[in-house]
Amino acid sequence: MKYLTEYRDGPKARALAEAIRRETTRPWAIMEVCGGQTHSIIRNGIDQILPEEIELIHGPGCPVCVTPLETIDKALAIAALPNVTFCSFGDMLRVPGSSHDLFTAKSRGADVRIVYSPLDAVRIAEREPERQVVFFAIGFETTAPANAMAAKLAKARNLPNFSLLVSHVLVPPAIDAIMQSPDNRVQAFLAAGHVCSVMGYWQYPPLAERHHVPIVVTGFEPLDLLRGILRAVRQLERGEAKVENAYERVVTFEGSRPAQEVIAEVFTTTDRSWRGIGTIPQSGWRLSDEYAAFDAERRFPVGDIATCESTLCRSGEVLQGAIKPHECPAFGKECTPRTPLGATMVSSEGACAAYYNYGRHETVKLQV
Amino acid sequence: MTGRNDSEGDRFPSTGVQCPLPLRDYPQIVLGHGGGGQLSDELVRHLFLPSFANDALQELGDASVVALGEQRIAFCTDSFVVQPRFFPGGNIGELAVNGTVNDLAMVGAEPKWLSAAFILEEGFSMDELARIVAAMADATARAGVDIVTGDTKVVPRGQGDGCYINTSGIGVVPKGIVLCPSRVQVGDAILLSGTIADHGMAIMSVREGLGFESEIASDTAALHELVATMLGVCPEIRAMRDPTRGGVAAALHEVAQAAQVGIEIDDAAVPIAPATASACEILGIDPLAVANEGKLIAFVPDEAASEVLEAMRAHPLGHNAARIGKVVADHRGMVVAKTAIGATRVITTQIGEALPRIC
């Protein structure tokens, strides 16, 4: 497959791992921000071929994982209303709310539909004008342009029966929050390539400077990740703290102007609560006042929701890199993808699910 | 917490029968219970198996083998609810015949007789039914089996989804042939008859209107002649599986568990068509977990593997056959893949099916 298989080449990957080994003189902790990168690292076993001095800390960049419990409960409340068709990406259906998940809501009769694009939800609203169609608009900067387009289209077509339940989150404020945490161990970041393909990386130099931390824009295939790690290690060894782009074939400094324009039109920055982490100031997007009519939280009565989080789940610490998934006492016991206590065990991008699905719990067991 | 509570659901309310632990989590059936993954397995092991307990059922094979005097008979059943009913490369009728023929073939049986039962929704198009039936007739003719009994029920409009088909099959197992996961041994080679994930991705691409540039066609096919060819070369083949729901991952996992052996596969050796691989990439789906309807996995004594592989490749349904791995003494009960960069990962089974039904 063009642009994929050539970035999975075994000998080249091992040569890069060797280069990293040659340049590493002491332990370094590097955080990959994006859940897609976590998934690729574990699936391909990239951490297994790195020198043991290099620790990869799995970051909070899984949108499913950090969507606040309150928003999941709102989704469940809206989906259960009569005459509502609730559209979502498949990953969100198994994320536990306070009492159940969207799959269970569906089995109880709610009209919950998996869509692959927010524009599919707009089409459903056009096709079924008698139903209230709600799209669960979550994600980082990556999914924002498509979600913004859906809102724009619904406005242009004057669709009174379409709305969005928005819970967008942003990478730069999360990096800032991690670096400000007193327990922080992260010494360098691999910035998320997909997010940067939309936003560019002009937001990062002030962060790198303020926290004196190297930030390397990195892709998702094994060779991409290894190149990103190599460049981060090089900077760390030299005491540098620059922003570099190791994903040149996709990312430019400016990013996509048209995408950023549509985002600026439809969304506005807001404080956002991150599941397991807490509120990070100015770390999310909500619909702008101009699009308030399409806000599902205003359209449906979901103001007062009392949430109840599992007391066993330590996903917050996992998302901040304080513990590895299998170090949580509930991992693989009370909490499995089959019975997830936290969202990190659900999403294919969640660190706990990645560890579980690729058998890290088994590997750990085998070594005992 | 996620709504699980030890004090609730101890018993099925209607029968007073003790409700086994995993089933307590779900007071209602969810789609995943039909997905062929862990939830399906729980339903079988904790409800059906204890309720219907007998030796033949205990094997949990694609088909059961029962003795009738000297003769060994293979018997199996399968229901087909696929949407859309017509898709690139096949349709529900063809699937209903080939699926049951393949279940018989996986225990080495020569398929003989099939039943066909239709559950139709009031208002269903007579023309479409005729096209489905014609496809079934063609498929039985190609496979050399007869549909010898059947049934039709019609449910009121809105209470079905057009057309559901159940087929059962009976076949005869030749003397000396015993295909059973418990016979799999350390050192055996694992052969796969061709490219994976074509059926599942074909269904998804049309059902979700994903509009991929190149069309992916289902691989639906009757495999019993390929099986006969392979057994002709090596009657000592230990076991076969057709990796339908849950894909190659689930099939390998079942065998690793049943035989209590370790399974090691090489990611790069597993054949996959470029268009299918792209579709899986775009959707973030692991092709190893995607359904196939015309492929088989065979566990073969290592010394016979090359000869069997050659025979497979000479057969029209085995052109792309490959040796994908081996049975090992390490990590018993587990399936491990060697990744392209030389690391390893454990392959687990899916929980349920995140996607709607595909077979």
> Across the interface, do A338 and B356 touch by the CB < 8 Å criterion?
no
Q: What's the pTM?
A: 0.84
Q: At what angle do helices A144-156 and A257-266 cross, to 10 degrees?
A: 60
Structure-block tokens of residue A324: 């590895």
% of chain A exceeding 70 in pLDDT: 95
For residue A96, the chain B residues in CB contact (below 8 A) are: 2
Interface test with A, best of B267, B341, B348, B358 (most A CBs within 10 A): B341
Q: Which pair of structure tokens corresponds to residue B233?
A: 């070369």
- The answer to whether the CB atoms of B343 and A44 lie below 8 A apart is yes
pLDDT at B352: 61
**Cβ count within 10 A of residue B26:** 18
Residue A203: DSSP 8-state: T
The pLDDT of A283-302, averaged and rounded, is 95
* Same fold across B61-173 and B181-347: no
Tell me if B208 sits within 8 A of B299, measured CB to CB. no
Q: What is the DSSP string of B205-226?
A: HHHTT---SSPP-------HHH
The residues, any chain, with a CB within 8 Å of residue B96's CB and separated by 6 or more, are B78, B80, B116, B136, B165, B166, B167
The confidence score (pLDDT) of residue A199 equals 97
Residues B255, B263 contacting (CB under 8 angstroms):
yes
Interval A321-333 mean pLDDT: 88
Task: Using the structure block, give the residue that is written with the tokens 């081996």.
Answer: B326
Per-residue pLDDT of chain B (359 residues; tens, 9 = 90+): 333 344 344 556 566 555 555 666 778 888 878 877 778 888 998 999 999 999 899 888 889 999 999 999 999 999 999 999 999 999 999 999 999 999 999 999 999 999 999 999 999 999 999 999 999 999 999 999 999 999 999 999 999 999 999 999 999 999 999 999 999 999 999 999 999 999 999 998 887 666 666 789 999 999 999 999 999 999 999 999 999 988 999 999 999 999 999 999 999 999 999 889 888 887 778 899 999 999 999 999 999 999 999 999 999 999 999 999 999 999 899 999 999 898 888 887 776 654 433 33
pLDDT given at position B137: 98
What pLDDT score was predicted for residue A364?
Answer: 44
Q: Which CATH class is domain A5-35+44-59+173-236?
A: alpha beta
DSSP B3: S
**Gap between the Cα atoms of A244 and B220, Å rounded:** 49
pLDDT at residue A309 is higher than 80: no
Between the alpha carbon of residue A323 and those of residues A267, A355, B66, B168, the distances in Å are 34, 13, 53, 52
Position A362 scores a pLDDT of 61
B346 vs A contacts (CB less than 8 Å): 358-360, 362-363
Q: Which residues of A touch B25 (CB under 8 A)?
A: 339
Q: Which helix (H) or strand (E) holds A55?
A: strand A54-61
Superfamily of domain B61-173: PurM-like, N-terminal domain (3.30.1330.10)
* Chain region(s) in chain A for CATH 3.40.50.11740: 65-170+255-299
CB contact under 8 A, B29 and A366: no
Identity at A47, one-letter amino acid code: D
What percentage of chain A reaches a pLDDT higher than 90? 65
- The b-or-e profile of A329-353 (16+ CB within 10 A means b, else e) is ebbbebbbbbbbbbbbbbbbbbbbb
- Of A153, A156, A112, which is closest to residue A135 (Cα–Cα)? A112
Determine the pLDDT at residue B308. 98
**Neighbour count for residue B314 (Cβ, 10 Å):** 11
pLDDT for B351: 65
Contact at CB, A99 and B3, closer than 8 angstroms: yes
pLDDT class of A355 with cuts at 50, 70, 90: confident
**What pLDDT digit, counting tens, does each position of B257-311 carry?**
999 999 999 999 999 998 898 888 877 788 999 999 999 999 999 999 999 999 9
Give the mean model confidence (pLDDT) for residues A40-58.
93
Interface of B with A in 33-52 (CB under 8 A): 38-39
**Which value does ipTM take for this structure?**
0.74
| CATH architecture for the domain at B181-347 | Alpha-Beta Complex (3.90)
Q: Where in chain A is the domain with CATH 3.40.50.11750?
A: 5-35+44-59+173-236
Q: At the top level of CATH, which class does the domain A65-170+255-299 belong to?
A: alpha beta
Provide the residue ranges of all domains of chain B, joining segments of one domain with +: 61-173, 181-347
> A357, A364, A365, A368: which to substitute to probe chain B, counting the most B Cβ within 10 Å?
A357
